[in-house]
Structure 1
Amino acid sequence: MQPSPLPPLPAEQVPGLQHLRVGEIVVTAVSDGFLNGSNAVLQNIAPEEIDRLLTESFRPTPRRTSVNTFLIRSGGRAALIDTGCGGSMQASAGKMLGNLAAANVAPEMIDTVLLTHLHPDHSNALADASGQAIFANATVGLHAAELAYWEDEAAASRAGASGQGVPYFAAARAQLAPYRDRLALFADGAEIFPGVTAVHLPGHTPGHCGYMIASGEDSLLIWGDIVHVPEVQVPRPEVTMQFDVDPAQAAETRRRTFDRVATDRQRILGMHLHFPGCAHLARTGEGYRLVPEARDLAF
């Protein structure tokens, strides 16, 4: 008996989704794809050292950065943490909406969008090309200091020196525009969705935030942009990014966060950890090692 003919070779990957359980809360990693970028944006490190660290980790150089978003389903409600790049950056990114649809979640089902910060790879799918809100029924939550920064004309005029540039400010304001009457500003420690608490992690931007998700005895920290290039910044936490508003504070926040999650054995999710972005951080002598979480089919 001859085997049945094989189907055509696949032309694309399966949807970029991974489900995680935190007590009674389900967290779904939703891939937005990835961005290719220059190593020159990494600071406080020699270019040859970047190449060495990436090559030893079997990663491309120049760098490739994963972009992740996270769907939170808790108490019969749905929140999205970050929206990814939208259609305005690279063809390899902007995949969040398609992957969200593969999870059978339409944008109108999202009642809350929580932003780690307002850089374009985190917020450029709030509005469509015509300036209309993509998440028609959602409140947008962000730290009060984040909104204040992107509305500050003096900060915009200084932006060229930080590597963010005036277009970053224009994009942030345009993306928020259709949500101006439904912004929810919060402070550190506020519970802003069932089981989700804001964790202020300043430096990358003034209002950069992570989110602690807790249910029962279980918890998970979404740490935002604590690292952008894990193969470099985990072993070398002093390495900063050209996009950091306050590089010294960003490095200090990274060290403090590393110490906390390693000490507490805290499970983490990162916007720029390789998809699905779930890991632990282990101490190795005087440094750290990122340990990706094994996939669990029984979530």
Structure 2
Amino acid sequence: MPVSLPTALRRSAAALFTGLALAAAAQDGPHRQQVPGYYHQAIGSTLRVTALFDGVVPLPRAQIKGLGAAQVDALLKRRYVPESPQGLQTSINAYLVQVEGRRVLVDAGTADCFGPGLGQVAANLKAAGFRPEDVDDVLLTHAHPDHLCGVLGADGARAFPNATLWLDDAELAYWEGPEAEPRTPQALRFIVGLARRALAPYQAAGRLRTFRPGDALPGGVRALASPGHTPGHTSYLIGAGDGQQLLVWGDVVHYHVVQFARPAASYEPDVDRAQAVASRRRLLAQAAREGWWVAGAHLPFPGLGHVRPEGQGYAWVPAEFSPLPPGRP
């Protein structure tokens, strides 16, 4: 059943969900527009990924758990992360991956769930040269609104009419089961309804598929269980040829300046913080050891780069701007 909330209530609840006030209103006029919110990256001999910008939200320092305030301040000092009274600027990104002849979208952004200033994935997908009808599969890292709501169009119908929606079996069971609402604070329980609303049209059309770690996914994508932020949170490892691989890791990191250096720092809304820390430690170590490319939903746009060891933690190495090689689609 569709969830209908008064605008003011929905905006207030969204602010609570992320621990923030809503992002700034949409820019007005051409002179206020930034560059188009997409970026193409060729990886290896076979893979092309297009980063899609959805918008930014401020996440408060107070929602960083497991470190003292002085430690957080010291890590953020002279790192120049834009910060408003509501919090630290945090990007929301989705990724279109062209692999083995398929167009696979990993996460879909917020659509209209969080108000103006967000919900830009659909427009940036078109600006990048793709139609919603071109998307073959949508792989969801988890079912939070900033990753899931974009699967619906403004009319509540499927935004990607030819796509199959893929979600971890445990993740779907959590959001459709009886424990989702009790484990969600009262003021935030609207997100349970949003998840069910977004999934419903795909279920009705027979376009929702679930999987378990190890199952075969489209394009040879490998699902890596990374629970903690949500019970079925999943990251995706995608082969690129020439020995290279891309890890799309969803919400493994929210505060990049803090959590690379101190992986034990957790995020207040994590359902299981200890499990989220364990997942982050494991994926950071793997990505650094194997030299994987990484794409992160909440890393500074375009959120593509590598992880390297640094001290007792890690550091983020953003990709340098690069033209596409000749002949690449």
Tell me if both proteins adopt one fold, taking TM over 0.5 as the criterion: yes
Are the counterparts in 1 of residues 253 and 298 from structure 2 also a CA contact under 8 Å? yes
- The correspondence for 2:134, drawn from 109, 130, 139, is 109
Residue of structure 2 in register with 1:3 after alignment = none
Q: 2:210 aligns to what?
A: 185
- Cα offset, 1:90, TM superposition: 4.2
Tell me the secondary structure at the aligned position of residue 236 of structure 2: strand
Aligned residues: CA RMSD: 1.9
Task: Supply the distance in 1 between the matched residues of 2:300 and 2:155 (Cα, whole angstroms).
Answer: 32
For each residue in 1:108-139, what CA deviation from the matched residue of structure 2 results, as whole angstroms up to 9, or x when unmatched?
11121110000111111111344211111111
Aligned to 2:4: none
In 2, the alpha carbon distance for the partners of 1:92 and 1:55 equals 27
Determine the C-alpha separation between the residues in 2 that align with 1:69 and 1:91.
Answer: 18
| Alpha-carbon distance in 1 for matches of 2:138, 2:249 | 16
Give the corresponding residue for 2:221. Answer: 196
Partner of 1:5: none
Q: Does 1:39 align with 2:44?
A: no
> Is 1:277–2:303 an aligned residue pair?
yes
The SS at the match of 1:259 is helix
8 Å CA contact retained: 1:54, 1:60: no
Q: Deviation digits for residues 47-85 of structure 1, max 9, x if unmatched? A: 343344334210133211101100012233212110111
Match of 1:89, SS state, is coil
Paired AA for residue 21 in structure 1: A
Is the Cα–Cα contact under 8 Å of residues 297 and 303 in structure 2 kept in the other structure? yes
Q: Aligned to 2:197, which of 170, 174, 184?
A: 174
5+ residue gaps in structure 2?
A: 1-28
| Residue 234 in structure 1 maps to residue 257 in structure 2 | no
Q: Which of residues 67, 73, 82 in structure 2 aligns to 1:60?
A: 82
Output the CA distance in 1 between the equivalents of 2:102 and 2:183.
40
Tell whether 2:94 aligns with 1:82.
Answer: no
Moved more, 172-181 or 28-37: 28-37
Give the total of aligned pairs.
290
In structure 1, the residue matched to 2:118 is 93
Structure 1 pair 285–158 and aligned structure 2 pair: CA distance change class (3 A): closer
SS in 2 for 1:190: coil
Q: In structure 1, how many angstroms separate the alpha carbons of the residues matched to 2:129 and 2:265? A: 39
**SS at 1:283 equivalent:** strand
Write out aligned runs for 1:143-292 (5 A).
Answer: 143-160=168-185, 165-180=188-203, 181-216=206-241, 217-292=243-318
Contact between 1:42 and 1:241, CA under 8 Å: does it hold in 2?
yes
| 3-state DSSP of counterpart to 1:155 | coil
Q: Give 3-state SS (helix, strand or coil) of 1:250's partner.
A: helix
TM-score (norm 2): 0.83
Partner of 2:41: 20
- Aligned residues: percent identity? 39
Distance 2:64 2:154 in 1: 31
CA–CA separation in structure 1 for the residues paired with 2:149 and 2:162? 17
Distance 1:9 1:209, change over 3 A: closer
Assess if the C-alpha contact under 8 Å between 1:35 and 1:90 holds in 2: no
After TM superposition, the structure 1 stretch with the greater mean CA deviation from structure 2, 144-153 or 22-31, is 22-31
- Decide whether the 8 Å contact of 2:40 with 2:324 is kept in 1: no
Contact 2:41 2:324 in 1 (8 A): no
Q: Distance in 2 between matches of 1:106 and 1:296?
A: 24
Deviation of 1:291 (Å): 1.1
Which one-letter code corresponds to 1:115 in the other structure?
L
Which residue identity does 1:218 align to in structure 2?
Q
